[in-house]
């Protein structure tokens, strides 16, 4: 049975808690006590724990909110562009931009077990569909498979720690290189892809 929707007042409280948690985590990391988050949200501690019994639940809710605010609209727009290459570029750009801006949050979420593959596949699956559409139109090489998508994203995200603050946009060079690698012209044969392990990749 699907979860029942929250009452309007409960939904407002939940949103206030998530918004407050995002601000508090950004300032002090996820080790900040739940009591401090409750105070920032203007709710009682009991209200916070009733909605988010564990810190992991709250961190996960913050990640989902950031996905819904930043990534989901881009994925929707990318699917409607009619140009798979442009759509994939927009999706990858949004994801790496968010990962770059939220590196402490993602690292902390990974440490508390809130960064899970089911959330990641909310991104990977639509991008894989865009790639498949590009393969049909000839925009992308035919030997790409869905399991390539998580690894390509992780390749891009993996460059982030290598850039100093003054070159925080340096990942864009590698996004351009990656996009060039997806086209058929001059492509060499690939070794078979392995299935993606069912665990959360380190970011």
- Return the beta strands (E) in the chain as ranges: none
Among 89, 95, 87, 93, which Cα is nearest to 67's? 95
Give per-residue pLDDT as tens, 98-133. Answer: 999 888 888 778 777 777 788 888 999 999 999 999
Query: Which one, of 124, 129, 139, lies nearest residue 92 by Cα?
Result: 124
Q: Which CATH number fits domain 55-188+195-203: 3.90.79.10, 3.10.350.10, 3.40.50.450, 1.10.357.10?
A: 1.10.357.10
Residue 199 has a pLDDT of: 47
pLDDT at residue 139 in the model: 93
Fold for 7-53, please state it: Arc Repressor Mutant, subunit A (1.10.10)
pLDDT score at 202: 44
- In the chain, domain spans: 7-53, 55-188+195-203
pLDDT at residue number 7 = 61
Provide the 3-class DSSP secondary structure of residue 146. coil
Burial class (CB in 10 A: 0-12, 13-18, 19+), 4: exposed
Question: How high is the pLDDT of residue 113?
Answer: 75
Q: Which residue, among 198, 158, 201, has the nearest Cα to 178 in the 3D structure? A: 158
What average pLDDT does this structure show over 33-48?
Answer: 94
When mean pLDDT is compared across 45-49, 74-78, 187-191, the lowest value belongs to: 187-191
- Report residue 142 as tokens: 């035919």
Residue 167 banded pLDDT, cuts 50, 70, 90: confident
């Amino acid at each position: 049975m699907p979860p029942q929707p929250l009452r309007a007042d409960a939904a407002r409280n939940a949103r206030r808690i998530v918004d407050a948690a995002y601000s508090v985590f950004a300032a002090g990391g996820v080790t900040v006590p739940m009591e401090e988050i409750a105070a920032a949200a203007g709710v009682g501690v009991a209200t916070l724990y009733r909605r988010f019994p564990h810190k992991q639940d709250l961190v996960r809710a913050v990640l989902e909110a950031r996905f819904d605010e930043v990534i989901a609209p881009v994925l929707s727009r990318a699917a409607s562009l009619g140009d798979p290459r442009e759509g994939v570029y927009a999706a990858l750009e949004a994801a790496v931009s968010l990962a770059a801006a939220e590196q402490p949050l993602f690292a902390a979420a990974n440490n508390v077990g809130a960064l899970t593959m089911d959330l990641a596949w909310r991104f990977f699956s639509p991008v894989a569909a865009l790639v498949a559409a590009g393969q049909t139109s000839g925009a992308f090489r035919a030997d790409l498979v869905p399991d390539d998508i998580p690894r390509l994203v992780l390749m891009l995200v993996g460059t982030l720690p290598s850039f100093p603050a003054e070159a925080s946009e340096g990942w864009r060079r590698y996004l351009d290189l990656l996009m060039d690698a997806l086209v058929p012209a001059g492509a060499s044969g690939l070794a078979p892809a392995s299935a993606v392990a069912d665990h959360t990749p380190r970011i």
